[in-house]
Amino acid sequence: MGDEIPSCPSPIYLLPPAPPPTPSPPPDPLESTTRNGRFTPNRRPPLRFTTEFDSEGPLFLHKVSCKFFDSLAKLKFSFQNNTKGEIFCPQLGFITKNLSVLYDFESRNALLRGSLDLGQNLQLRTTYDVQPRAALQFPYGEIALEQRENVEEKIEGKKVLSVDGILKSPMLNGIGTVVYNGNDLTLRYIYKDTKLSFIPCINLPSNKVSFAFKRRFSPSDKFSYWYHFDSSAWSAVYKHTIGKDLKIKAGYDSDVRLGWASLWVGPEDGKTKDAPRKLKAQMMLQVPQDGIKSSALMFRVKKRWDL
C-alpha cells in the first residue's frame, strides 16, 4: 500500500488581542442608592400640576403636588390668581393615609386631620383647627366644636363656643339624617333605589318643608325636581349622558327666574386624570326670564400635567 497522506496541521490564525472590558461608570448618587447590597433607584418623585380657569370670577386655580416615600405621603401647594396677576389664598398641605396638615398663609391658620382604625368597620376621625376648631368623626356622623363671634350680644372680641353635629342612621329602607348647626335643626330622609329617589326635609324652628324627587328613566337620562313649600319656589334639572365623557344638562330655577343649559366634557364628578387627555371642560348658558338680552355664556376648564 502507498504511503498515507499526512493529515494537515490545524490552521493558525493571527488575531489581535481582545481589548480589556470597559469599566462601567460609577452610579450617579442623585439617581441611585445601595441598600443591603442591592441597587435601588432614587429618582425625583413625579410632579403633578393642575390648573383650572373659571370665567365667572374670572379666576385661575393652580395646584402642584408630588408623592414620595413610595406614595406614602403627598405634598401639595395651591394658590389662586386673577386676570391682573394678583396671587391670593396660598395653601400648603402635607397628606398621608392617617394624618393631613393644611396651612393657610393668609389667615396663618393650620387645619389638622387624623384618623385611627379601631376595627374592621369602625374608624375614628378627628379634625382640629388652630383658630380653634375641633371635630370628632365616626361612622354615623360628626360632632364639631368651634369658637365664633357672639352676634346676639354684639360684644366685639367676645366669642362663644358653638356645637355643630350630623348624625346618620338607616331607617325605613333609606337613610335618616339629623343636622344641627347653631340654633337650626334639619331633619332629612333619603330613599333611593336604582330608578327613584325621594328626599323630604324639614327645618326647625322655622318649620320650612321641602322635598326633592329624582327619577332615572334610563342609564343615560335622569330628571330631578325640588320644591319648597314655604316659598313655593321650585327648580328642575334634566341630564343626558353620551358615553362616559360627555354630559348635557338643562334646568330652571324659579327663585332667581333663570333658565340654563350646560355641556360637560370629561367626568363631572370624577378626577381629571380619568378624563381624555386629562382635560375637563364645562360650558354654560344662563338665560334670565326677565331679560333675555342679559344672557351670559360661561365656561370652566381644568387641565392636568404629569411632569
Per-residue pLDDT at 289 = 92
Question: CA 302, 260, 225: angle at the middle one, nearest 5?
Answer: 105
How confident is the prediction for the chain on average, in pLDDT? 83
Instruction: Give me the mean pLDDT over the 274-289 stretch.
Output: 92
Cβ-proximal residues to 277 (8 Å cutoff; 6+ apart), any chain: none
Q: How are beta strands 258-265 and 279-288 bridged, if at all?
A: antiparallel
Per-residue pLDDT at 8 = 41
pLDDT at 25 over 50: yes
Instruction: Give me the mean pLDDT over the 55-77 stretch.
Output: 91
pLDDT at 35 over 80: no
Higher pLDDT, 111 or 253: 253
DSSP string across the chain: -PPPPPPPPPP----PPPPPPPPPPPPPTTTEEEETTEEEE-PPPPEEEEEEEETTTTEEEEEEEEEETTTTEEEEEEEEEETT--EEEEEEEEEESSEEEEEETTTTEEEEEEEEE-SSS-EEEEEEETTTEEEEEETTEEEEEEEEE-TTTT-TT-EEEEEEEEEEEEETTEEEEEEEETTEEEEEEEEE-SSEEEEEEEEETTTEEEEEEEEEEETTEEEEEEEETTT--EEEEEEEEETTTEEEEEEEETTTTEEEEEEEES-SSS-GGGSGGGEEEEEEEEEETT-GGG-EEEEEEEEEEE-
Q: What is the pLDDT of residues 67-116, one digit of tens each?
A: 988 888 999 999 999 988 899 999 999 999 889 999 999 988 898 888 87
pLDDT at 152 over 90: no
Instruction: Give me the mean pLDDT over the 51-75 stretch.
Output: 91
* pTM for the whole structure: 0.70
Q: How are beta strands 47-54 and 296-306 bridged, if at all?
A: antiparallel
Higher pLDDT, 87 or 45: 87
Angstrom CA distances, 138 to 101, 141, 165, stand at: 20, 5, 11
Instruction: Give me the mean pLDDT over the 61-72 stretch.
Output: 91
Q: What is the pLDDT of residues 204-231, one digit of tens each?
A: 999 999 999 999 999 999 999 999 999 9
Per-residue pLDDT at 304 = 94
Asked which of 47-56, 182-191, 268-277 is least confident by mean pLDDT, the reply is 268-277
pLDDT at 144 over 90: no
